[in-house]
Each structure stands twice: as structure tokens, then as C-alpha cells.
Structure 1
């Protein structure tokens, strides 16, 4: 039996299922259109105000190198609380919270060249791609 070390939030994007550790997840919001930011870096959709905190919203499709045409559904924004600020990741839908095992499979992972992808998790005959956006978000200014 695998030892559980953390919980993760499961979400859909571009026909795949993903999971991100909830350790830095502040909350999940229904999608709201962000205000554009002139001169923003590629992948930044804009900014939203969440109870007085400015949140930079990023396209999840950009972070995972997915075709944006396959990720059009407006669903949720996963808000991360990081030392460098609040960041929202736009995803198609949030499904549930699940336990993350201590060891994750990485063999044969087609996304392995993406820095955000950490491995895969098999849960109830479903494959989830384990991602970590914290490092990428921390490089934004």
C-alpha cells in the first residue's frame, strides 16, 4: 500500500485530467473574465480582484503547452497563494480533491519535457497528470 503524503486538486484541461497539490491552493473560483494587462507576458490572461487581493490569471493551456482551441470551456480559476503573490490558473473544470501517493510514475509520460509536469497518478482506473505550477508562477513579476 502506497503512503499518502499530500492531497491534490483534480481538474480537466484539453481532454486530460490533471492534479495539483493543494498545499498552496487558496481557493477555487467560478470563471470570471479578468481585466487585460497591457504589456503582460504571454500566457497571462489578466487580473481579477478577489476580496481585495489582485490575482494574476494565467491560461492553464499555456502552462501545459496545450492547443488553446482544445481548451475553450470557461470553468474555474484555481487560485494559488505563493510568496510572490496570488496567481490564478484557468482550467475547464475542477472535479475533486484526492490523496497523492508518495511515489508517482514517470515512464512513458508524453509531457515529460514540460517543467510543470511531475509525473502521473493512476486512481480508480483514471490517469491523472501530476503538475506543479508554483515554480513557474514564482518567476513572474
Structure 2
């Protein structure tokens, strides 16, 4: 009887360690269960986006996220950058960390023109303003 308890306890510890090694936290698991999706199949940011889309009754976005339409995010996207992008509702791989910060600041300030400016990547345009040279173009 004692051996059975020891082995059961050991199996429980090993199972908990294996679950923790996959990167699935209890909160991640709870959110996935609430949404009815597999916890390991989606990141925490994806789960948050699915929850937001369901709350907004946006079925096309939910379907896109469940089909992993946002799997373009690659290894160059850090966890922090992905979190900021998820909070802003944009794809982290489309923006630099500085651009994400600028979007967040513009949203906080109510600057819709600034938000659109960065979302459309107009901040990346190269503008050329020629300066008159001495003796020319006066």
C-alpha cells in the first residue's frame, strides 16, 4: 500500500513537471479551457486575441486565429514585444518595438492620426527635402 502511494505521488510530480515544461501555465490552461481550445496549440497572446474577438462577436477573426492565421510571428519577435502587440491588437512581426511603443502612446493620448500614421507604416517612408546649395536654387 505504501509503495502504491509513493508511485502515485511520483507519477503526479512527473506529470506536473512535464506539463510545466511545455510552457503551459495554470492561467494559460484556464483561459484555453474557457475558450474551448487546446492550451498548447495557442500562445497566451493568441488566446487573448481569441477572447477579444469572441467578446466583439467577430467570428471571422476567431476563425482566422484558430486556424493559426497569425502564425507569421517568428523567432525574431520577443515575448515582451508580442505581449505589447497583443494588447494593441496588431501583429508583432509587422512592427518594431519602438513603433509599438509609439502606437501605445498615441492611443493613450487619443492621437488617432498618429496611430494611423504608424499602422500604415507611413513613418517608414523616405522623404527627400532637397536643401538649396550655396549659389544654387535661391
The alignment's TM-score, normalised by the length of structure 2, stands at: 0.29
Bigger proportion of residues as helix: 2
Question: Higher Cα Rg: structure 1 or 2?
Answer: 2
The alignment's TM-score, normalised by the length of structure 1, stands at: 0.28
